[in-house]
Amino acid sequence: MKRDPFYWFCLLCVLMGAASYGLLSVLIKKAYEDGFTQGQVTVHQTGIGMALLWLIAMARWRRWRNPLRGPWLKLVLIGTCGLAMTTILYNAALQRLDASLAIVLLFQFTWITILLDSIQKRTWPGKLRLLAIVIVMIGTVLAARLLESGLTKASFIGVLAGFFSAVSYSLFIWWTGQLEGQQDAVIRSAVMVSAGFMLITLLYGSEAFSASREAALVGWGLLLGTLAQVVPTLLFNIGIPRIGSGLSALLGAVELPVVILTAWTILGEPLSLWRVVGILLIVTGIGIAELPTGKRKGNSARLEEKH
């Protein structure tokens, strides 16, 4: 099957979107250290991200279509159960766990997404894809030093929040992969984030503001909203529908080395040999996932092919 002419551009979009997410873990931890609560950070992060997306959408008003047409129900579902729940659960995990453990738990989205994709297509992933998953997961464990720290001293609620953030992130990637690629990515992103913001406001609206330090909170919200809601949502909406949710889950593995490297440079966390080995294994796994697999017939084709 002939690939989409924008295939490699879409690969880059997904990689950059994942890298943008990777910067969040360290910055959210810094916001908590600055004295702000999970509710304050989450509301401002999502609300300012939503406002930025609608500003971009309004500047592109010529691309607007009939508002009565479009997969609005799907977009609302992705925005609430996918984007919003991932933000809520992952921010909760970061408040209770080390950033390295929280990202390991989030990274369970890799096998969950590929499992969902395989169930939908009623086909077992190929040998190379399975090998890539194994290598990525081994690299994830090493890079996050899970064998050294373990789960014995971790918050049980934090662990649950981290794991379920992986489930909601998997649903976001999987459902986004089912959307039609012809729809305007900015409008689609704005609708998703708006739906998610309504859910977050219902949960945290009463504790959303900091009267004495609102300016600083808005600054954090602007930074986090851009990196969490605007950049990755736009890039994922451009890339995932064209390359598929299975490959997108593997490409999303770049988020982990970004977290490790930013934690090293900003927080001063040690960059051990095992972490370097883990990062190299993740990159190797992504490369193996892109190797030719031979036959490409029907539902047996590679998961990254256009739906």
Strand ranges inside 29-179, DSSP E: none
What is the per-residue pLDDT for 150?
A: 59
What pLDDT sits at residue 303? 32
pLDDT given for residue 297 in this prediction: 39
Burial letters 81-95, b for 16+ CB under 10 A, else e: bbbbbbbbbbbbbbb
Q: What letter represents residue 81's amino acid?
A: C
- Dihedral of the CA atoms 220, 110, 80, 61 (nearest 10)? 70
Distances (CA, A) of 35 to 66, 98, 218: 45, 17, 13
Q: pLDDT tens across 158-217, in order? A: 989 999 999 998 888 888 877 765 667 788 888 888 999 999 999 987 778 877 888 999
Question: How far is it, in rounded angstroms, from Cα 139 to Cα 198?
Answer: 37
Q: What's residue 195's pLDDT?
A: 93
| Side-chain-facing half-sphere of 243: CA atoms under 13 Å | 27
What pLDDT is attached to residue 4? 62
pLDDT in tens, 50-74: 999 899 888 877 766 655 466 788 8
Which residues neighbour 290 within 8 Å (Cβ) at sequence distance 6 or greater? Answer: 247
pLDDT tens digit sequence for 243-278: 877 677 778 778 878 887 887 888 777 778 887 888
Cα separation, 289 vs 131, in Å, equals 8
pLDDT at 236: 84
